[in-house]
C-alpha cells in the first residue's frame, strides 16, 4: 500500500471506490467519505457505487499488489473483527475483501446491512449489535432459501427454507456446525461475553447450561429457540435483547420467551420469538398462532407489550452496560417530549419446523413441496390473523421441513450439548 493510499481515512476510502468501480466520479466530499468509513454504506451511496459499474477484478488486483506485511496486518484486523477466527492466509485477503465489499453493497441496497462495527470513538459497550457468528457463509451452506412471500400485514413476511444436502444426502452436519458456533452467543449476554477472557470456557459453560435447560423442557423446544434466534438475526438483522436460555441461566425460569430488536423505516419493533416443531404443518401453525394470540390479548388487556413486563431493571443491569440500558429504555419508554409513544404492540418471530413424509434427497421435489406448503401456510395465517384481530402485529415466519422433527431434534441437540 502506498503512502498516498494510506495518508488519511478519506483518501483510503476514495482509493477503494476508485479501484472497485469502473466510472467513479468522486461525488463525495471529504466529510462524506469519512461518514462512509465510520457509519457504513447507506442505500444512496450503494446505488451510486453499483451504477458506476463494479469492477471486482480491479480491486482484487490492487489488493494482490500489497506487500506481504500489509496483507498480514489486514489478516489480523479481519481476525479481530471475526471474533478471533483462525488467521487468514495472505493469498486469501483480496478474495475476502472484494466479496465482503460486494456483500455490503447488496445489503445496503436491500436495506439489510448490519450496523457498522467501526466508528469514531466506537465503543462496543454502547452498541446493541447482532450477535450471531456465521463466517464462511455457513448460513448459506446450511439452508436453501426456497421462497419468500410478503404477508398482507405491516412489515411482515414468510420465508421457506430447506436443509441443503451434504454430498447429495440429507444431513444435519452444517446445521450443527452453525448452531455450535453460536451456543455461547445464544446463552450469554454481550456483557457476559465481553467480560470473559476464555471463549472455550464460555462455550463449555453454555453447553452445560443448555444441557440443564433441555432437561427442563425437551430437545424440540431448544432446537426451535436456537433456530428462531439464527433466522431473526440473519434474515431480519434483528439483534437479540435476551433469549429464553438467558432467563433460565439467570433466574432458573424455563417459560420466558426470547425478544429481539428490529429497526425499520417506521421505527422500532420488539419481536417475541415463538418457535414450534410439530408433526404437521397445520398443527404447528395453529399452535403457534394461538400462542401469539394469547400474547396479544395480554398486551391489549392490561399487561402491555411482552417485553415491557420482562425487562426488569435488575435483568438489564446484569446483562447490559449503562449506555445500552439507556438505548433500550429510550425505545421502550421514550421521553414525553418525543412524539413517539414507544413500542405499543409486540411483533412475532415464528419458526415452524414440521414433518414432511415424502422427503427423499431430490432437491427439486423438496422445493416444490415447500412452495406448496408456503402457499398453504400463508392462507392459514391470513385467515387466523383476520379472524382474531391481529392485523396490528408484524409477523416474521420461517418454515423448515424435517423428516421426523422429534427424532431429529433429539439427535441434533444430543450432538450439541448431550442429553
Where residue 405 falls (left for φ over 0; alpha for ψ -120 to 50; beta otherwise) is alpha
76 or 138, higher pLDDT: 138
pLDDT (average), residues 350-375: 87
Nearest to 220 by CA among 113, 354, 91: 354
Q: How far apart are CA 216 and CA 168, in angstroms?
A: 36
* 335 vs 396, higher pLDDT: 396
pLDDT top residue among 304 and 251: 251
**Residue 370 pLDDT more than 80?**
yes
Out of 107-121, 210-224, 262-276, least confident range? 107-121
Residue 85's pLDDT is what? 65
pLDDT band at 310 (very low <50, low <70, confident <90, very high): low
- CA 70 to chain CA centroid, Å, is 32
Task: Sketch the domain layout of the chain as residue ranges.
Answer: 9-122, 126-417
Question: For the residues 349-367, what does the mean pLDDT come to?
Answer: 84
Cβ neighbors of 73 (< 8 A, separation 6 or more) are none
Give the closest residue to 158 by CA, choosing from 298, 351, 328, 410: 351
Task: Give the pLDDT band of residue 210 (cuts 50, 70, 90).
Answer: very high
Q: From the CA atom positions of the chain, what is the Rg in Å?
A: 23
Give the angle subtended at the CA of 235 by the CAs of 189 and 347, to the nearest 5°. 75
**C-alpha separations of 1 from 62, 65, 67, 413 in Å:** 9, 8, 7, 48
- Model confidence at 26, pLDDT cuts 50, 70, 90, reads low
CB 235 within 8 A of CB 396: yes
Mean pLDDT, residues 180-197 taken together = 86
**How far from each other are the two terminal CA atoms of the chain, in whole angstroms?**
53
The answer to whether residue 115 scores a pLDDT higher than 50 is: no
- Across 86-109, average pLDDT: 83
- pLDDT (0 to 100) of residue 27: 58
Residue 1 has pLDDT above 60, yes or no: no
Confidence (pLDDT) at 334: 62
**Percent above pLDDT 90 for the chain:** 38
Cα distance between residue 172 and residue 365, in whole Å: 19
Amino acid at each position: 500500500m502506498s503512502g498516498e493510499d494510506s495518508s488519511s481515512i478519506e483518501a483510503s476510502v476514495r482509493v477503494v471506490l476508485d479501484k472497485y468501480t469502473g466510472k467513479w466520479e468522486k461525488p463525495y466530499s471529504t466529510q462524506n467519505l469519512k461518514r462512509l468509513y465510520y457509519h457504513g454504506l447507506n442505500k444512496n451511496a450503494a446505488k451510486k457505487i453499483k451504477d458506476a459499474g463494479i469492477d471486482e477484478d480491479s480491486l482484487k488486483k490492487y489488493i494482490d499488489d500489497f506487500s506481504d506485511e500489509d496483507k498480514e496486518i489486514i489478516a489480523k484486523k479481519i481476525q479481530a473483527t471475526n471474533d478471533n477466527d483462525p488467521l487468514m492466509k495472505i493469498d486469501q485477503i483480496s478474495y475476502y475483501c472484494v466479496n465482503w465489499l460486494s456483500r455490503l453493497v447488496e445489503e445496503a441496497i436491500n436495506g439489510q446491512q448490519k450496523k457498522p462495527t467501526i466508528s469514531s470513538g466506537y465503543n462496543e459497550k454502547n452498541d446493541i449489535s447482532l450477535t450471531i457468528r456465521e463466517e464462511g457463509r455457513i448460513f448459506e451452506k446450511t439452508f436453501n432459501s426456497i421462497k419468500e412471500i410478503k404477508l398482507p400485514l405491516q412489515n411482515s413476511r414468510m420465508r421457506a427454507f430447506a436443509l441443503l444436502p451434504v454430498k447429495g444426502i440429507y444431513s444435519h452436519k452444517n446445521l450443527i456446525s452453525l448452531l455450535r458456533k453460536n451456543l455461547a452467543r445464544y446463552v450469554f449476554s454481550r456483557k457476559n461475553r465481553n467480560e470473559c477472557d476464555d471463549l472455550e470456557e464460555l462455550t463449555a459453560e453454555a453447553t452445560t447450561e443448555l444441557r440443564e435447560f433441555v432437561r427442563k423442557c425437551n430437545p424440540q423446544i431448544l432446537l426451535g429457540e436456537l433456530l428462531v434466534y439464527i433466522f431473526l438475526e440473519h434474515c431480519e438483522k434483528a439483534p437479540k435483547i435476551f433469549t429464553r436460555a438467558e432467563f433460565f441461566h439467570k433466574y432458573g425460569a424455563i417459560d420466558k420467551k426470547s425478544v429481539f430488536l428490529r429497526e425499520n423505516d417506521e421505527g422500532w419493533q420488539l419481536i417475541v420469538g415463538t418457535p414450534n416443531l410439530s408433526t404437521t404443518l397445520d398443527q404447528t401453525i395453529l399452535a403457534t398462532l394461538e400462542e401469539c394470540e394469547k400474547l396479544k390479548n395480554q398486551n391489549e388487556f392490561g399487561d402491555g407489550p411482552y417485553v415491557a413486563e420482562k425487562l426488569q431493571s435488575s435483568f438489564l443491569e446484569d446483562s447490559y452496560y449503562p449506555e445500552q440500558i439507556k438505548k433500550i429504555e429510550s425505545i421502550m419508554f421514550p421521553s414525553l417530549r418525543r412524539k413517539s409513544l414507544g413500542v405499543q404492540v409486540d411483533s412475532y418471530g415464528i419458526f415452524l419446523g414440521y414433518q414432511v413424509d415424502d422427503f427423499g434427497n431430490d432437491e427439486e421435489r423438496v422445493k416444490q413441496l415447500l412452495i406448496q406448503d408456503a402457499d398453504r401456510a400463508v392462507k392459514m395465517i391470513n385467515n387466523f390473523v383476520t379472524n382474531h384481530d391481529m392485523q396490528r402485529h408484524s409477523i416474521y415466519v420461517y418454515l423448515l421441513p424435517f423428516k421426523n422433527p422429534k427424532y431429529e431434534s433429539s439427535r441434533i441437540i444430543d450432538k450439541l450439548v448431550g442429553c
